[in-house]
Structure 1
Amino acid sequence: MKPKAIIDNHGRPVNYLRLAVTDRCNLRCFYCMPEEGIHYLPKKELLTYEEMLRLCQILASLGINKVRITGGEPFVRKDLLYFLKNLRKIKGIDKISLTTNGVLTYDYIPDLVELGISMVNLSLDTLDAENFLRITRRNEFEKVMQTFYALVESGISTKINTVVMDGKNTEDLIPLAQLTEKHPVSVRFIEEMPFNGEGNHYATLKWSHHKILDTLRQAYPNLQKLPVPAHSTATLYQVPGFQGNIGIIAAFSRTFCGTCNRIRITAQGLLKTCLYDEGVLDLKQVMRSGANDQRLEETLIHAFRHRAKDGFEAEKQRQSNHPVKESMSTIGG
């Protein structure tokens, strides 16, 4: 009898998959990828939708009940709705959500509602159009804001993902937090990570989760801490009387590893049991070598039961002995 949930070697359940459907993106955010010299994978090197659905079917049988679709930018890949409709049919997957930059999303919002997409995370690092251009290297601010308002109007649970970058958008923290006054959204401030495709990062992180919280408290002295949902990466707060809430994610400090329930599969089929590992299993190679479902199950279970304790251990175990330098677009957000 198959287990209802996988428990890893540190006693953590594994029930949440973040699946990248493409490594391509229509923005060039400097903290995610270099402006030029990006080597996109040829189509044959990406998982097909059929391969992704097969993996999701197997993972659902092992206890995965939540899937988040990421990229790159998911809507850059052709026929994404076809994939989402078939993913929705898989028994055991209760929640499907997605992360998007919002540039192409607006026209698909009615379809997302019809499909019962439970949540959309919208990447948005500033509310200033000129600063948006500087950060993303693309002039698409108005399209993203159109998507934001349409998502709120649609009733889809909406989260704003903001990467906090010293000297780039720290002046935007309070304007973004202010969105939660009149909109039932969650604005989540994320520590900057080294996944920019170049390996550049600070010796120390100036804008840690502590400094982000201090900055918010200066603007909102009555900021209240909210109960933390199980396995949440964010510490949640709310200004009394505001409709939405504010989250802080210690992605670089890695304070939430002890309750991590998520795995990642990249667009090229690498299984990552930690964001900071370099891929622990090439699922594409396993599938294309002719492995049956039972063999895939066994291989996945083995990987889940040999997870790193936390992001620091995963980083130390990287066999390349090189610091983290891959682009977030190749990992899956």
Structure 2
Amino acid sequence: MSQLVDDFGREFNYLRLSVTDVCNFKCSYCLPDGYRPNGKPQFLALDEIRRLIQAFAKVGTQKIRITGGEPTLRKDFIDIIHAVKDVGSIHTIATTTNGYRLEKNAKGWFDAGLRRINVSMDSLDPKQFQQITGENKFHEVMRGIDAALDAGFERIKINAVLLKDLNDTDLPKFIQWLKQRPIDVRFIELMETGLGHEYFSKHHLSGETIKARLMAEGWLRQMPSATDGPAQNFCHPDYQGRFGLIMPYSKNFCATCNRLRVSATGKLHLCLFTESGIDLRDLLQHDAQQAELIERLHQQLHQKKSTHELHQGITGVTQHLASIGG
């Protein structure tokens, strides 16, 4: 099968697969009022997920990240890991989690085939962590990160959403934390969503300010690998860990886009901030539908735009990041 390529020559080898919208945290930049279901959610079943993964693998997908909401809330989370691992052409299996179940499950998930894990950790101060997430689980998440290190994950990343007047002064703490830990810490610029204009206006801060401070302290920019996407990564000879920046408002951010997203209800999203999604679920019911599913993927890529429209304040239909998996 031919590789997924859009009209701008970008190849898509990375799938971010949401398996649930549900989350048990109440992060101020995403779900400040907590998860509120719209009726009874009908998320993709395990068999539907298997068929989806198999189709994407046939068109060149090499990396799959299992996302949410909080993906580990699914009772069959470990079965989903197995389903990805069973497709031999998928080289990298990753997940993004708030870390609340990590301490008890890191070894089991690793044994199932999970190799990379991103933990949302917006502050190294327990009180500020609770202020941002709405949960008093700082120490629990920190123990989970240690458990992931002990389990042998090949890459552990800490995601911190950069928030002006909240955690933007935490950079020295994070840098010091990396001194003896082979972990990536990434500050992610706050992105405006449909429900977050006021919050965005109050707390958005350009990652360029952090980049300038890193460069001034001797951190060196690293070239990304084929599946890394648009993150800018920095290393320092005196530190075991790396620092990264994701800056969606920077120039040419979308030029290296290599990822597609499928929501927990089976909709293909060509961009985090555009259309309402293209339904794939009708083609996930039988194995015999694989060819038709793959053809739909190829057809829809012709609709992908060259860039998002965040600079114009156009956020699309995305109301909050938990609905697509970020």
For normalisation by structure 1, the TM-score amounts to 0.89
Contiguous gaps of at least 5 residues in structure 1 = none
* Alignment match, 2:69: 72
Cα offset for 1:249? 0.7
Q: 1:227 aligns with which of 214, 223, 229?
A: 223
Q: 2:59 aligns with which of 46, 57, 62?
A: 62
Q: Deviations over 1:154-212 (max 9, x none)?
A: 22110111100011111212211222211011111110012374444545985212112
CA–CA distance in 2 between the matches of 1:37 and 1:70?
15
* Residues 214 and 295 of structure 1, relative CA distance in 2, 3 Å threshold: same
CA–CA distance in 2 between the matches of 1:109 and 1:37?
25
Cα offset for 1:243? 0.6
Give the counterpart letter for 2:8 in structure 1.
H
**1:190 matches 2:183:** no
Q: 2:28 aligns with which of 4, 20, 30?
A: 30
**1:329 matches 2:319:** no
* Contact kept in structure 2, 1:200 and 1:325, CA below 8 Å: no
* Residues 53 and 102 of structure 1, relative CA distance in 2, 3 Å threshold: same
CA–CA distance in 1 between the matches of 2:194 and 2:93?
27
For normalisation by structure 2, the TM-score amounts to 0.91
Instruction: Find the residue that maps to 1:278 and give its secondary structure.
Output: coil
Cα offset for 1:116? 3.0
* Residues 165 and 114 of structure 1, relative CA distance in 2, 3 Å threshold: same
**1:147 matches 2:151:** no
* Residues 98 and 40 of structure 1, relative CA distance in 2, 3 Å threshold: farther
Instruction: Find the residue that maps to 1:294 and give its secondary structure.
Output: helix
CA–CA distance in 2 between the matches of 1:289 and 1:85?
20
Q: 1:111 aligns with which of 108, 112, 131?
A: 108
Aligned-residue sequence identity (percent) comes to 32
Give the counterpart letter for 1:233 in structure 2.
P
Cα offset for 1:96? 0.6
* Residues 176 and 324 of structure 1, relative CA distance in 2, 3 Å threshold: farther
Q: 1:170 aligns with which of 161, 168, 171?
A: 168
CA–CA distance in 1 between the matches of 2:110 and 2:88?
19
* Alignment match, 2:134: 137
CA–CA distance in 2 between the matches of 1:300 and 1:268?
16
**1:295 matches 2:288:** no
Contiguous gaps of at least 5 residues in structure 2 = none
* Residues 36 and 62 of structure 1, relative CA distance in 2, 3 Å threshold: closer
CA–CA distance in 2 between the matches of 1:183 and 1:199?
36
Q: 1:95 aligns with which of 92, 95, 104?
A: 92
* Contact kept in structure 2, 1:12 and 1:261, CA below 8 Å: yes
CA–CA distance in 2 between the matches of 1:30 and 1:129?
15
How do 1:193-232 and structure 2 match up within 5 A? 193-195=191-193, 197-202=195-200, 206-217=204-215, 221-230=217-226, 231-232=228-229
Q: Deviations over 1:89-116 (max 9, x none)?
A: 1232121111111001221111122123
* Contact kept in structure 2, 1:100 and 1:120, CA below 8 Å: yes
Cα offset for 1:215? 3.5
* Contact kept in structure 2, 1:123 and 1:160, CA below 8 Å: yes
* Contact kept in structure 2, 1:33 and 1:197, CA below 8 Å: no
| RMSD of aligned Cα (Å) | 2.5
Cα offset for 1:279? 3.3
Cα offset for 1:286? 4.7
* Contact kept in structure 2, 1:17 and 1:67, CA below 8 Å: yes
CA–CA distance in 1 between the matches of 2:175 and 2:275?
34
CA–CA distance in 1 between the matches of 2:49 and 2:312?
27
* Contact kept in structure 2, 1:14 and 1:262, CA below 8 Å: yes
Q: How many residues align?
A: 324
CA–CA distance in 2 between the matches of 1:53 and 1:131?
39
* Contact kept in structure 1, 2:270 and 2:304, CA below 8 Å: yes
Q: 1:305 aligns with which of 296, 302, 307?
A: 302
Cα offset for 1:232? 2.8
Give the counterpart letter for 1:178 in structure 2.
Q
Instruction: Find the residue that maps to 2:188 and give its secondary structure.
Output: strand
CA–CA distance in 2 between the matches of 1:168 and 1:40?
31
